[in-house]
Amino acid sequence: MKLRKNILIVDNNSELEHLVKEPLLKQLENSGVSPIVVRAKDGAEAAIKSENQKFDVVLIDTEVPRLMDGGFVYGIHTYKNTQNADIVVISQKELTDLPDSLKGSKFFKKPVSPDELINALINLLNTQHHGQSKDPHATAAAASKYAVDVRVINAMIKATLNVFTQFGVTGINMEKAGPKSPHDPLMGEVSSAIDIKSQSFQGFLSISFDKGSFLEVVSLMLMEEQTELTQENQDAVGEINNIIFGNAKSEITSFGVQMTVPRVLLGANQTIPCAQGSAGMMIPFSTSKGKFYLTVVALPLKE
């Protein structure tokens, strides 16, 4: 019986799929591996597909829309269904210009040779089939036993943008997501965090504001201009984040995720103790007055 191997191709125009699918199936026809090729048209669809299916190899074109500015690439070694996958990247950029999460990948600079690309995929699939060692980055990810649920992150992004838009915050821009050491202090001066847990995830989410963005949000919420951080207006961060977490709760709990009551952290350089093997990702946002930060930290799952 052949061993089925799933390949996710992140490719918005089917060019990569057409390039590799048929030659790959033909060359592996008489082997012990049966490849199943799945295509995602952008980073958002790749995140959704990787929630529902485990992949052994992920082939990424870095010029695909909604890929380099979202969570999929930066969390690819932490998502439960891609954390053990071998990553193959083709790009117009140099390897040194790519996010750290892709730097341990098999890399091809465009224009790529079809034969070289197909041979690389075949070698990876055959290596996995014969049980040889894998890429050290993937091995390290597997050993840490954590998984970030991208649906939770997307639900929080949506809830945050919805609530701030309702408040009347203007000029909100989501900037490029990236890894963040969970042992480093939270960004911003006013923060709130909430613990979340499911069968495949345990960790916390935090929202942190710098002075400018916080005063903008709290002024709109209180309908009175706030020009300095005070004990009174800083207490409002709990209410702001209660509204955001409440807005996201119904969607998040539908994924089987439990949430605790948010806790407020006032002052800069706040830290939340995390076990070794934890992993973090931060998404910065800018407004017309400042910045705020959404951070997700995954703790190692207990055996």
Q: Which residue type occupies 43?
A: G
pTM given for the model:
0.54
pLDDT of residue 7: 93
How is residue 80 written in tokens?
Answer: 């439960």
Which of 188, 212, 181 lies closest to 265, judged by CA? 188
Are 12 and 41 in contact by the 8 Å Cβ rule? The answer is yes
Question: DSSP secondary-structure letter at 288?
Answer: S
pLDDT of residue 281: 80
pLDDT of residue 135: 43
223: left (phi over 0), alpha (psi -120 to 50) or beta: left
CA distance 254 to 99: 32
CA distance 226 to 235: 13
Are 299 and 145 in contact by the 8 Å Cβ rule? The answer is no
Q: What are the pLDDT tens digits along the chain (303 aa)?
A: 678 889 999 988 888 888 888 888 888 888 888 888 999 888 888 888 887 788 999 999 988 877 766 567 777 876 778 878 899 999 999 888 887 778 788 999 988 888 899 888 988 887 765 544 444 343 333 333 344 566 777 888 888 888 888 888 888 888 877 777 778 888 888 888 888 887 666 788 888 999 899 899 888 888 888 888 887 777 777 788 788 888 887 777 777 777 777 677 777 777 777 777 677 788 889 888 899 998 888 776 655
Beta bridge partners of 107: 89
CA distance 259 to 291: 25
Q: Quick check: helix, strand or coil at residue 287?
A: coil
pLDDT of residue 80: 73
Are 10 and 46 in contact by the 8 Å Cβ rule? The answer is yes
pLDDT of residue 48: 80
Question: DSSP secondary-structure letter at 70?
Answer: S
Residue 238 belongs to what H/E stretch? helix 236-253
